[in-house]
Structure formats: C-alpha cells, structure tokens
Amino acid sequence: MSNDIIKLTDIDKRFGTQTVLDNVSFSVSQGEIVGLIGPSGAGKSTIIKIALGMEVSDEGVATVFGVKMPDREVLGRMGYMAQSDALYEQLTAKENLQFFAEMKGIKKDVLSEEIERVAKIVDLTADLDKYVVGYSGGMKRRLSLAIAFLGNPKLLILDEPTVGIDPALRRQIWTELQAMRDQGHTILVTTHVMDEAELVDRVALLLGGRLIANDSPKALESAYQVTSIEDVFLKAEGEL
C-alpha cells in the first residue's frame, strides 16, 4: 500500500490560453517535508489549490489520504495556511483561534490548552487578547500559522508561511515542523526563502508549469554541481 498522503497524477491546468501546470505528477509521503519552490507564476499555489480541491484540474487526478479531491471530510483532517491571511480583524487573536478551533471540531475541554500550545509555537502568547486589526503583517502571518497548527493535523499545507517573520522565530517554527515530521506528520510548504529549502527532505522545483527537479537538497546540489538550493534554482533558470 502506498504511503503517499498527497498524490497528483498527470495534472494539467489552464486559465484561458495560459497553461499553468503541464503534465505534473507529484506526491508527498507520510512523515516527509517537501518544499515546493519556483519563481512567481510557476504554478506552486495552483498545485496547492488543486490538492485542496479549491481548483479542479483540466486533466489528471489529485488525491489526499487516498481520496479524490475535493472532499469536505478530508479537508477537516489537514491544516492549511494560505498566502493571504483570512482573519477576522475585528476579533482578538484568541477569538480567531477559538472560532477556527470550533470549526475544526476541537472539544471545549481542551480548547484553552490547544490555543496556548499553538500560540506558544508562533510567539503570540502575550498578544492573544489584542485585536487583529492592530496586528502587524508579520503578526497576522504568525496567527494564520497558529490556526493551521490547531488540532495537530496529520497533514499541513503551508503557502509561504514565514513571509514577514523574523529569523529567530523562523528557526523556531522550522524546529516545530521537523519535530512534527519526526512524529509522522506530512508537510508540504512553498517558500521563496532558499535557506529554508535546505531544511526539507525533498525539494520540488517548478519552472514554467513543469516539475523539472524533485529530490533531496543534497542530491539536487550534486546533480547541478552547486553548493546551495539557491544556486540550483538559479542554474535551472539559466541565471548561473
């Protein structure tokens, strides 16, 4: 039996005359962190939306936990953080977390403990009672990430999760992601921060809607004869 949690097979996606994804096959296995990288417009967010069932491919099949997407029950088993924050700004951070926790079916007897847990990961404990309208952009990203962590989901899909977050907290968040991976969680993350791409188990590089590389950071650096994922990226684009 396959241990692929996310599996996209022969995916094509077009918007009008523009081909965004061209015959992409891609998977993420249980207990693995996969980093999806590529220039803006390469198709990273479209892959995520197809995996979530927010977009339907023109060709090919997308499954999550072995179920063809979209599927409401499967969505309830994952944590998702979008590129843009979808928060209730007239509520406090704690009220946002309470709302999304109830949406996820987290029981009331563990609700306070769970909010404290996720707030600590993203360093928002002291700011939980502040209204989100007064949050900085980085604080909103941290709150969105805390919402994704609610319920300790077995699958996390994170689209540019650390944009606007300071380096020390980024390191703390990656330590948490790697700990979750070691506990058998599955994580798909897109990032423009190339040193973060060194921290994943496997890098999937999208260019022009095609998956042109898909291997561990060290294997890709060896194959491209460079010393960093940033240089892999530049060499693949023909800039190095």
Here the tokens at position 6 are: 């996310």
Here the tokens at position 138 are: 């980085």
Confidence class for position 50, pLDDT limits 50, 70, 90: very high
Which range has the worst mean pLDDT, 40-44, 144-148, 180-184, 236-240? 236-240
Q: What is the mean pLDDT of residues 217-221?
A: 96
Q: Helix (H, G, I), strand (E, B), or coil: what is residue 55?
A: coil
**Radius of gyration over every alpha carbon of the chain, rounded to an integer in angstroms:** 18
Q: What is the pLDDT of residue 238?
A: 79
Burial string for 84-101 (b: 16+ CB within 10 Å, else e) reads ebebeeeebbbebbbebb
| CATH hierarchy code of domain 1-76+188-240 | 3.40.50.300
- Report the mean per-residue pLDDT for the chain: 93
Confidence class for position 213, pLDDT limits 50, 70, 90: very high
pTM: 0.93
d(CA 111, CA 107): 6
Q: Residue 196's CB: how many other CB atoms inside 10 A?
A: 20
Domain ranges of the chain: 1-76+188-240
Q: What angle do CA 150, 155, 159 make, to 5 degrees?
A: 85
Of 234, 109, 124, give the one whose Cα is nearest residue 173. Answer: 124
